[in-house]
Amino acid sequence: MTSPVTFAVQDLDARILEELRLDGRIGRNELAAKLEVSRPTVSKRLNAMLESGRVRVVGIVHPSTIGLDALGHVAIAVDQPVRQVAARIAALHDVPYVSLTSGGYPLIAEIRTAGAARLASSLERIRSIDGVRETNTLVYSDLIVDIGRPDKVPATRLDHLDVRLLGVLQDDGRASYTELAEATGTSPGTARLRVKRLIDDGVLRIGALVGAGQHESGVAVGFGIRATGRMSDLSSTIAEIPGVRFLASTIGRFDLLGTVHATRLEDVVASLDTVRALRSVLDVDSWVHLHTVKERYNNVPALSTIREEQS
Mean pLDDT of the chain: 90
Domain 4-52 adopts which CATH fold? Arc Repressor Mutant, subunit A (1.10.10)
What pLDDT is attached to residue 154? 79
Distance CA 135, CA 69 (A): 21
pLDDT for the residue 217: 66
Q: What is the mean pLDDT of residues 50-79?
A: 93
The answer, yes or no, to whether residue 306 has pLDDT greater than 90, is no
Report domain extents, the chain.
Answer: 4-52
Task: Output the pLDDT for position 299.
Answer: 66
Mean pLDDT of 56-61: 93
* Least confident among 37-46, 205-214, 227-236, 282-291: 205-214
pLDDT, tens digit (0-9, with 9 covering 90-100), for 243-261: 999 999 999 999 999 999 9
**pLDDT at 103 > cutoff 80:** yes
